[in-house]
Amino acid sequence: MKKQINVVGAILMNEGKILCAQRSEHMSLSLMWEFPGGKIEPGETPQAALKRELNEELLIDVNVAEDIFETTTYEYDFGVVTLTTFICHLISGTPQLTEHAAIKWLYPNELQTLTWAPADIPAVEKLSTK
């Protein structure tokens, strides 16, 4: 039985664009694009986990919507990932690269120009049709 991994991702909106983060070459799913975020720790709400992860990874503070945007489960070779995404808005800070190889701000209709991690694709498709 594969390991179950519960993660959250931020659809971080700013002036009509969405922040996209490229995984580093040292991470699993090397150089694929994702919505930034990470694992939910025991006792954390998904929203609290997302705020913490964005603060740690990108050195920013965000407002996280209460409502889930999309939930996707995808089976990778290293485990089964359930990704829950939320719409977020920047409160303070400018995203900094601490773990990712690159970041880009793209309009929703530009998202499909990137090579996304499979678990992120349903949210990308939903955003691209808005």
Whether 15 shows a pLDDT value over 70: the answer reads yes
Domain that holds residue 95: 4-128
Average pLDDT score over the chain: 95
Task: Tell me, letter by letter, the H, E, C secondary structure of the chain.
Answer: CCCEEEEEEEEEEECCEEEEEECCCCCCCCCCEECCEEECCCCCCHHHHHHHHHHHHHCCEEEECCCCCEEEEEEECCEEEEEEEEEEEEEECCCCCCCCCEEEEECHHHHHHCCECHHHHHHHHHHHCC
Whether 130 shows a pLDDT value over 80: the answer reads no
Overall domain count for the chain: 1
Residues 36-87: pLDDT tens digits?
999 999 999 999 999 999 999 999 999 999 999 999 999 999 999 999 999 9
CATH number where 113 lies: 3.90.79.10
Single out the residue of 4, 2, 8, 14 nearest to residue 120, CA to CA.
8
